[in-house]
Amino acid sequence: MSKTPITVAYGDGIGPEIMDATLNILDAAGAQLDIETIEIGEKVYLRGGTTGLEENAWDSLRRTKVFLKAPITTPQGGGYKSLNVTIRKALGLYANVRPAVAYYPFVETKHPNMDVVIIRENEEDLYAGIEHRQTEQVYQCLKLITQPGSEKVIRYAFEYARSYGRKKVTCFVKDNIMKLTDGIFHRMFDEIGKEYPDIEKETWIVDIGAAKLANSPEEFDVIVMPNLYGDIMSDIAAQISGSVGLGGSANIGDQCAMFEAVHGSAPPLAGKNLANPSGLLLAAVMMLQHIGQPEVASRVHNAWLKTIEDGIHTFDIYREGISKQQVGTKEFAKAVIDRL
Amino acid sequence: MSKTPITVAYGDGIGPEIMDATLNILDAAGAQLDIETIEIGEKVYLRGGTTGLEENAWDSLRRTKVFLKAPITTPQGGGYKSLNVTIRKALGLYANVRPAVAYYPFVETKHPNMDVVIIRENEEDLYAGIEHRQTEQVYQCLKLITQPGSEKVIRYAFEYARSYGRKKVTCFVKDNIMKLTDGIFHRMFDEIGKEYPDIEKETWIVDIGAAKLANSPEEFDVIVMPNLYGDIMSDIAAQISGSVGLGGSANIGDQCAMFEAVHGSAPPLAGKNLANPSGLLLAAVMMLQHIGQPEVASRVHNAWLKTIEDGIHTFDIYREGISKQQVGTKEFAKAVIDRL
Ligand SMILES: CC(C)[C@H](C(=O)O)[C@@H](O)C(=O)O
Ligand SMILES: CC(C)[C@H](C(=O)O)[C@@H](O)C(=O)O
Contact map slice: A 141-200 vs B, CB within 8 A = 141-148, 174, 176-181, 183-184
Indicate yes or no: CB of B211 within 8 angstroms of CB of A178.
Answer: no
Q: What total number of domains does chain B contain? A: 2
Indicate yes or no: CB of A181 within 8 angstroms of CB of B244.
Answer: no
- In chain A, residues with a C-beta closer than 8 Å to the C-beta of B84 are none
- Residue A82 in contact with ligand 1 by CB distance below 6 A: yes
- Residue B177 in contact with ligand 1 by CB distance below 6 A: yes
DSSP, res B3 = P
Arithmetic mean of pLDDT, A123-128: 94
Kindly give the number of the ligand 1 atom that is closest to the alpha carbon of A228. Answer: 6
Same-domain pairing of B143 and B254: no
Q: Determine if the peptide bond prior to A294 is cis (ω within 30°).
A: no
State how far residue A239 is from chain B, nearest Cα, in angstroms: 6
Same-domain pairing of A156 and A215: yes
Same-domain pairing of B44 and B142: no
Q: What integer pLDDT is reported at residue B214 of this predicted model? A: 98
CA-nearest of B301, B276, B278, B279 to B288 is B301
Q: What integer pLDDT is reported at residue A51 of this predicted model? A: 79
- Residue A214 in contact with ligand 1 by CB distance below 6 A: no
Q: Is residue A105 part of a domain?
A: no
Q: Is B76's Cβ below 8 Å from some Cβ in A?
A: no
Chain A interface mutation, best of B50, B235, B241, B265, highest count of A Cβ atoms under 10 Å: B235
Q: Is residue B303 part of a domain?
A: yes
Predicted TM-score of the model (pTM): 0.96
Same-domain pairing of A124 and A210: yes
Strands (E), chain A: 4-9, 33-38, 66-69, 93-101, 115-121, 131-135, 138-146, 168-173, 200-205, 222-225, 248-253, 257-261, 312-313, 325-326
Tell me the best of B82, B120, B121, B249 to mutate to test the pocket of ligand 2, counting ligand atoms within 8 Å of each CB and taking the most. Answer: B82
d(CA B223, CA B328): 34
Is the per-residue pLDDT at A200 higher than 80? yes
Identity of residue A279? G
- A279: CATH: 3.40.718.10
- In chain B, residues with a C-beta closer than 8 Å to the C-beta of A82 are 176-177
- 3-class state of residue B125 by DSSP: strand
Indicate yes or no: CB of A211 within 8 angstroms of CB of B235.
Answer: yes
Q: Is B218's Cβ below 8 Å from some Cβ in A?
A: no
Q: Is B228's Cβ below 8 Å from some Cβ in A?
A: yes
Q: How crowded is residue A253: how many other Cβ atoms within 10 Å of its Cβ? A: 19
Same-domain pairing of B183 and B295: no
Same-domain pairing of A90 and A158: no
Same-domain pairing of A175 and A288: no
Residue B41: phi and psi, rounded to 5, are 100, -150
d(CA A141, CA A71): 26
Q: Is residue A175 part of a domain?
A: yes
- The residue ranges of chain B whose pLDDT is under 50 are none
Answer with the one of A241, A258, A283 that is the final residue of a domain. A241
Answer with the one of B208, B241, B274 that is the final residue of a domain. B241
Same-domain pairing of B19 and B85: yes
pLDDT, tens only, A44-96: 888 887 778 888 899 999 999 999 999 999 887 767 888 889 999 999 999 99
Kindly give the number of the ligand 1 atom that is closest to the alpha carbon of A82. Answer: 3
Same-domain pairing of B207 and B253: no
Is the per-residue pLDDT at A101 higher than 90? yes
Indicate yes or no: CB of B214 within 8 angstroms of CB of A143.
Answer: no
Q: Is residue A93 part of a domain?
A: yes
Q: What integer pLDDT is reported at residue A79 of this predicted model? A: 72
pLDDT category of residue A211 using cuts at 50, 70 and 90: very high
Contact assessment for residue A242 and residue A102, using Cβ atoms and an 8 Å cutoff: yes
d(CA A72, CA A42): 7
Indicate yes or no: CB of A148 within 8 angstroms of CB of B137.
Answer: yes
Which of B137, B139, B143 lies at the smallest CB-CB distance from A140? B143
Expressed as residue numbers, the domain containing B205 is 110-241
Cα angle, residue B120 at apex, residues B114 and B121 outer, rounded to 5°: 165
Answer with the one of A179, A212, A241 that is the final residue of a domain. A241
Contact assessment for residue B242 and residue B103, using Cβ atoms and an 8 Å cutoff: yes
Tell me the best of B73, B228, B231, B233 to mutate to test the pocket of ligand 2, counting ligand atoms within 8 Å of each CB and taking the most. Answer: B231
Residue B175 CA, ligand 1 centroid: distance in Å = 11
Q: Is A46's Cβ below 8 Å from some Cβ in B?
A: no
Q: Is residue A115 part of a domain?
A: yes
d(CA A6, CA A3): 9
Same-domain pairing of B181 and B119: yes
Indicate yes or no: CB of B131 within 8 angstroms of CB of A211.
Answer: no
pLDDT, tens only, A286-312: 999 999 999 999 999 999 999 999 999
Q: Is residue B102 part of a domain?
A: no
Q: Is residue B252 part of a domain?
A: yes
Same-domain pairing of A137 and A169: yes
Q: Is residue A104 part of a domain?
A: no
Same-domain pairing of A225 and A123: yes
Angle formed by the axes of helices A15-28 and A294-309, nearest 10°: 110
Residue of chain B whose Cα is closest to the Cα of A133: B180
Contact map slice: A 102-131 vs B, CB within 8 A = 110, 126-127, 129, 131
